[in-house]
Amino acid sequence: MKIRILLLFATLTVACVPASLSEQSGPDKLAIVTLSESQNGSTIELSSGSKLVVRLPAQMGTGYVWAVVKQDEKVLRLAGKNIESNHNLPGGTDAQVFDFSPVSVGSAEVEFAYKQPWQRDQPPARTFRFHVVVRN
């Protein structure tokens, strides 16, 4: 019985950790927050010295790519992006990774669209949005 209660407590404790605390290095290290598509619509908090990583699944061979379509560069700056490929599975899902750095204290909406860039008049196949609050 004690083991079941302990397992339940451990599960609830892990499930309640907010995204902003999901990955911390040591006291002098950069705090890194990682978001995935399952956190669509969430609100996250960042400290001014942290880093935000957004990792979204994509099938690059189809021509669909994720693009940032809304962000406030006064609050959050796109610092870089890359593609993590799974070369073991032909046609497998890759991941597009976007690195952001807080610029100033404030809040902003960030939105991504998953679409084929040449299809300008078509709505995106998927969207990913989150609200970010940057504190000191």
Summarised one tens digit per residue, pLDDT across range 46-59 is 998 899 999 999 98
| pLDDT value for 27 | 52
| pLDDT value for 17 | 35
The DSSP bridge pattern shows strands 94-102 and 76-84 to be antiparallel
Q: Where are the domains of the chain?
A: 19-135
- pLDDT value at 24 more than 70: no
Q: Give 32's pLDDT tier (boundaries 50, 70, 90).
A: very high
Model's pTM, two decimal places? 0.77
From the candidate CATH numbers 2.60.40.2020, 3.40.50.300, 2.30.30.60, 3.90.226.10, the one assigned to the domain spanning 19-135: 2.60.40.2020
| pLDDT value for 85 | 87
